[in-house]
Amino acid sequence: MSYPSNVKVVKLPCTGRVDVLLILRTFESGADGVYVAGCMEGECHFLRGNLRARRRVDYVKGLLEEVGLGGGRVEMFNMSASQGQRFAQFAREMTERIRLLGPSPVRK
């Protein structure tokens, strides 16, 4: 399994830990895009962590639209721990999407 080397993985115990501020700080640090890779919906070990993460990602999309970075720079994907290929596929999809959007205007 291989995925684009530009993807930097930040490990969290559960996507339920993903917070609006955490994503915003990542953009402030210069990230061109952020995606949250959570477990399949309905299969969260902590019951609703990935569902909460999705709502927070949706909220951040609105914030990024407001500040002019565009909501497309953040996304939520779901996959199970055994779906390495799916992880790699989303990594390629997101990398391609961000490449089309170009570097974050915050970094210029």
Partner 1 sequence: MIVGDRKDFKEILEKLGSRRRVLVLGCNECVTVCGVGGEREVGVLSAELRLYWKKEGETFEIREHTLERQCDFEYIDQIKGFADEYDVILSMACGAGVQYVAEAYKTKLVLPAVNTTFLGVTIEQGVWSERCQGCGSCILDMTAGVCPIARCSKSLLNGPCGGSSEGKCEIDKEIDCAWQLIVDRLKESGQMERYEEILPVKDWRTGREGGPRKRVREDLKL
Which positions touch partner 1 (CB under 8 A)? 20-21, 24-25, 27-28, 63-64, 66-69, 105-106, 108
- The DSSP code for 12 is -
C-beta of 21 vs 40, nearer to partner 1: 21
Q: Where are the alpha helices (DSSP H) in the chain?
A: 20-28, 49-67, 84-101
Question: In angstroms, what is the minimal distance from the CB of 83 to partner 1?
Answer: 31
Question: In angstroms, what is the minimal distance from the CB of 19 to partner 1?
Answer: 8
C-beta of 32 vs 91, nearer to partner 1: 32
C-beta of 52 vs 90, nearer to partner 1: 52
Question: In angstroms, what is the minimal distance from the CB of 34 to partner 1?
Answer: 13
C-beta of 27 vs 35, nearer to partner 1: 27
Distance in angstroms (rounded) separating the CA atoms of residues 75 and 30: 17
Distance in angstroms (rounded) separating the CA atoms of residues 78 and 36: 8
Token pair listed for 84: 């390495």
**Closest C-alpha to 95, from 46, 44, 32:** 32
**Closest C-alpha to 63, from 76, 78, 49, 73:** 73
Question: In angstroms, what is the minimal distance from the CB of 91 to partner 1?
Answer: 24
